[in-house]
Structure 1
């Protein structure tokens, strides 16, 4: 028996009036409260009015329109009896709702419950993030009765203000914060780094969480990536991780997630978008929801990973890890191409990336034994189609076919030909031809085609080499002609130099002759140039010659 019940029993025994005239029985969710009408009327203007009108039956069910719990109403009753009571973040919203509904205000009675509860909310709950989240979560069902008071807006504004000051209250980013974190708190904010676990907003009921996130995005005071991170974690908790749920609860959650996620490219990973799209189809979400995920994917398919495509092709339930259907892959690619052509009419880099991604995915899928032949062919045909005019070689298709034949060795020869029909042998590189020509897993007909293409490649290579050699010879001849032209000029210069040198020598001889003739003239004038003088000048030479001859004969 509670203190409240014991006090009621004591007062009933000591009272001179009958129990029926003094007691009030109030039922709340199967729990009966035995109270004194006068004590309750002293604090509640609404109870007082009903007593004046003698509407006792209405008093018994006065709380039937409230989503109040018996524990919170017991706190209200304890206040009316003067007992000690304790507010908390868990009960403050419900108590406020009851006090407001029963009109327990200052106009009716001083120092009343509504004023005390409001003071606790203002001083103890709103300044603290965790307390505010707890109050909002626990008072979910009572908040509708307080719409005209503006209590929801008050709680929302408190949380948004705190998250604007430190967005990490919403939770850490999903991506690598050290590499991709645009949020840098200023030095003053770093003094208040949170070293405790904050209450997560994703624990709020859906209707409150969605309204709060919409309000947060409109405020533009919180970095959008933190809001996106929170929404993605909400989807993980209430769509992916929850095993059993109320029928339609998952569907409502994923539709709300789609409404909350922004459309900006790159804010959400393709992996998460693929998961959400797959789940929206599985849960039979609204067409608007599924189309919304399609549109977001179509804007950024070129930044996906090849492994992300596996999410779209896998099955459901027990077949969640196997390749069951590639139609969704084709739908997503078609959506990407339609959107990309409209927005990037001159840039084809996205086409190249998606073509390469799909080749990588085809290679990954080919190794899965659960991939059926018809699905492989369909996926390969799609890959060849988007690679047309984008990728130069079909080596990627060949490698995927080779892996598929390796992991599906039970295929017949005709089935192998079916798998190979998408291979364009004439687009294989020389290295690819060399590998395919030696591949014993390929059908013989394909090997013959590869050998033929290989011969053509060799012929083209030889032709190019011959042509290149001829061009080199022509270039060398032109260079030699140019060099010969230079050498002829050098020869001319050399000839001119020799001619000048010859002229100089002739001139020198002439000068020498001139000098000799002049000396002879001088000597002749002196009378030295007689025949005897000439003999006298040369007699010593003659004597030397004679001595040599004489010595020889001896």
Structure 2
């Protein structure tokens, strides 16, 4: 209590109007009438002589001494300094004590609401800080709608500038902030939502996703940061219950789309969900996300699944690798991609398993049973996908090198996963000279190498024979073509001669027709000259014409003879 409060308390200590209240073991001695003028609840309790109920009210709302002192100072007429740290608590006390305008003008509830509206909600930093500081008080103000007011303000600001949720997870982002962001540009990255309690953070993120005005990449960035702070990087094992709740909430918030979340984060979160004994829905959901983008992972990412709790990587949990790989092949579907691209995903996973097996084989702590289990998974994945098994051979070679103490039978156990028939020619050459391999395996490699050489020679001989046959067929085809060309040339010559004869005959007919026409036309001119075609003497004309026709017939008949 301030010095001024103590002075007033001392002046009224022996008065019957003195009000004694303890707020979390801190005593307050106040004037009943002064408090009753501002508080409708205190006034009602005094009228009914039930002042003890006031202590219950303050205990229920978990009022802290500092905030209650501000409220008391306001009742005494002093100016109250509102901040984002105390505004929610002040609102809570003023609300429950009935310090509204109906009881007294210019009251505390109105002043605190005005400060919240004009000084807190317009600013991102102040809004986040007020929401975080008023964690316990907001539970008592559920009916007041204050939480929804905070959420709406934060989502609206994040819609203008999604970077308020965190840096974009993708480099060289083409996002450009809304010009309206200048209203709160000065502090856009000062306060982070991941500092909020889980009971505020999860519903806020859900509202942000439902708004569809914020790119999902920024929401994912915020959720991943929240998981790192409260689950992955949290060192306090005594709060495993809170960490379990956090990882389950993170799983509910993460989208299922491929590529939005890094494989390393998903693998770590899945492993922590198992350690924390999270719900089966949480573990299955994270496992599904991991399997959907298994082809995008690296051997180091896959190594996370074998890690023991609280220890370095020691390849303890091989079964989890088997489960994830099985889930990938059982549930992988992508309608947007064609079959060739689907096969490429399977090839990537097969290569991933080979590289991971080689990485595991280089660990001296890897046991023989674990290596064989991993190798069997790798071989099963490569069937029908990879042509050669050289990757498995190299892993076996590295394992034998790092575990030189193995007996001959143990070496054979490690080599039982090696299919010599699927080794390439180079792989066979290397294995045949490898002194670390058991003698039986070397003999198998030599036999396979011999068969490969035999098959290669047979293929070459067959190829030569086929080439000779092809050449002979080509020669025969050329001969047939030449003979066909000769026949075609003969036919062309015959046709040419026939056309020539037809042209000649046609030409003669045309010439004959022209000559005939010319003779007739000349004769007609002669007849006109001698008056044979006059219209006045038709009989003479007929006689002349007949005579001419007779002569012409005779002449033409003589000509064809």
Give the Å deviation of 1:351: 2.3
Is residue 26–residue 61 contact of structure 1 (8 Å, CA) maintained in 2? no
Is residue 87–residue 130 contact of structure 2 (8 Å, CA) maintained in 1? yes
- 2:363 matched to 1:373? no
Give the Å deviation of 1:459: 0.7
Give the Å deviation of 1:455: 0.6
Alignment of 1:309-320 (within 5 A): 309-317=302-310, 319-320=311-312
Give the Å deviation of 1:436: 0.9
TM-score scaled by length of structure 2: 0.82
Quote the residue 1:291 is aligned against.
284
Alignment partner of 1:359 out of 347, 354, 367: 354
Quote the residue 1:207 is aligned against.
199
Alignment partner of 1:57 out of 46, 52, 59: 52
Quote the residue 1:513 is aligned against.
none
Alignment of 1:122-133 (within 5 A): 122-133=117-128
Alignment partner of 1:225 out of 217, 224, 228: 217
Alignment of 1:99-110 (within 5 A): 99-110=94-105
Quote the residue 1:472 is aligned against.
467
Give the Å deviation of 1:341: 6.7
Residues 465-493 of structure 1: per-residue CA shift (max 9 Å, x gap): 11111122222233334455677899999
1:157 & 1:4 partners in 2: Cα distance? Answer: 40
1:149–1:413 distance in 2 versus 1, CA, 3 Å: same
Quote the residue 1:336 is aligned against.
328
SS in 1 for 2:239: coil
SS in 2 for 1:361: helix
Give the Å deviation of 1:372: 0.7
Alignment partner of 2:256 out of 254, 257, 263: 263
SS in 1 for 2:58: coil
SS in 2 for 1:21: coil
Alignment partner of 1:301 out of 286, 294, 297: 294
Residues 403-448 of structure 1: per-residue CA shift (max 9 Å, x gap): 1111111111111111000000001111111111111111111111
Alignment partner of 2:175 out of 173, 183, 190: 183
Give the Å deviation of 1:149: 1.2
Is residue 104–residue 112 contact of structure 1 (8 Å, CA) maintained in 2? yes
Quote the residue 2:492 is aligned against.
none
2:468 & 2:116 partners in 1: Cα distance? Answer: 95
2:333 & 2:183 partners in 1: Cα distance? Answer: 49
**What is the aligned length?**
486
Is residue 362–residue 379 contact of structure 1 (8 Å, CA) maintained in 2? yes
1:387–1:293 distance in 2 versus 1, CA, 3 Å: same
Quote the residue 2:7 is aligned against.
7
2:446 & 2:328 partners in 1: Cα distance? Answer: 38
Alignment of 1:61-460 (within 5 A): 61-174=56-169, 176-178=170-172, 181=173, 183-185=175-177, 197-244=189-236, 245-317=238-310, 319-340=311-332, 347-460=342-455
Quote the residue 2:510 is aligned against.
none
Residues 180-210 of structure 1: per-residue CA shift (max 9 Å, x gap): x363435675897667632000000111111
Is residue 25–residue 60 contact of structure 1 (8 Å, CA) maintained in 2? no
SS in 2 for 1:324: coil
Instruction: List runs of 5+ in structure 2 lacking aligned partners.
Output: 490-561
1:325–1:56 distance in 2 versus 1, CA, 3 Å: closer
Give the Å deviation of 1:296: 1.6
1:131–1:193 distance in 2 versus 1, CA, 3 Å: closer
Alignment of 1:499-518 (within 5 A): none
1:342 & 1:485 partners in 2: Cα distance? Answer: 55
Q: Point out the more displaced range, 52-61 or 437-446.
A: 52-61
Is residue 302–residue 350 contact of structure 1 (8 Å, CA) maintained in 2? yes
Give the Å deviation of 1:303: 2.0
Quote the residue 1:23 is aligned against.
18
1:122–1:371 distance in 2 versus 1, CA, 3 Å: same
Quote the residue 1:34 is aligned against.
29
Give the Å deviation of 1:9: 4.3
Instruction: List runs of 5+ in structure 1 lacking aligned partners.
Output: 13-17, 495-554
SS in 2 for 1:202: helix
Runs of 4+ in 1 over 6 A off after TM superposition: 341-345, 486-494
1:374–1:247 distance in 2 versus 1, CA, 3 Å: closer
Residues 484-503 of structure 1: per-residue CA shift (max 9 Å, x gap): 56778999999xxxxxxxxx
TM-score scaled by length of structure 1: 0.83
Give the Å deviation of 1:247: 4.3
**Once superposed, what is the RMSD of the aligned Cα atoms?**
2.5
